[in-house]
Amino acid sequence: MRREIDFSLYLVTGRELLPPGKDYFESIQESLEGGVTVVQVREKTADTAEFLDIALKTKELCQKYDVPLIINDRLDIALAVKADGVHLGQTDMPVSVARQLLPAGTIIGVSCNNADHVKNAISEGVDYVGIGAVWGTATKKLTSPIIGVRGVGALLRELDNTGLKAVAIGGIKGANALRTLHGTVSTTGHGLDGVAVVSDIAGSTKPRDAARTLRDTVSAFKEQL
């Protein structure tokens, strides 16, 4: 049986956001030391060979910290590196097709921006949803609306009694993480399982500290639930 995944602090990589002179793998390693619990390799500029190389080396680091590795978009890369999971956008490979292609037990997550996305994700049998964008972000050119904490909370209601995990994404930082976690608790009491973050960690000269602050915030939130 697949182990339960801790989604508390879900790092989405952002190689292009690294501070000058900061090495990508050093940044990932420090982020893991700071308490990242899931790593998604998201590569928008690398060619296939480079993506594969980055994914393999990131996997080695993840294994060292016993943290699952998720690959954004690319099933072929996920298969090649035996990743723990894939993350799919609304215009990527359909979940039903991905399930057929990937080994049993592979984690599949989907980006959701509205209730229809969440309902579809539930019926397709995903393992988790990434909900956003909760706040504005400069990391990604958004093609769907920013939904705010209330919007995330409304989507979390859809997950009641499904057992599906949920993280929010988009503009989450150490400074607003607690507000994000509290503000998104749905009227039925369904809270986030964690936060997904790119720039606050990847763009930091001290990713260990950035990750530690976020992880401590999520832990404090979960303890008082």
Taking the least distance from each CB to Mg ion, the nearer of 32 and 98 is: 98
Q: Is 140 a catalytic residue?
A: yes
Q: Tell whether residue 151 is a contact of ligand TZP (CB under 6 A).
A: no
Q: Is 141 a catalytic residue?
A: no
- Choose, from 8, 31, 42, 165, the residue flagged as catalytic: 42
Among 170, 174, 194, 207, binds ligand TZP (CB under 6 A): 170
Q: Tell whether residue 73 is a contact of Mg ion (CB under 5 A).
A: yes
The count of chain residues that interact with Mg ion, using the rule CB under 5 A, is 3
x/- binding map, residues 78-117, to Mg ion, per CB under 5 A?
-----------x--x-------------------------
Q: Is 42 a catalytic residue?
A: yes
Q: Tell whether residue 197 is a contact of ligand TZP (CB under 6 A).
A: yes
**29 to 8, 11, 121, 148: CA distances (angstroms):** 17, 12, 32, 31
Which residues are identified as catalytic?
Answer: 42, 111, 140
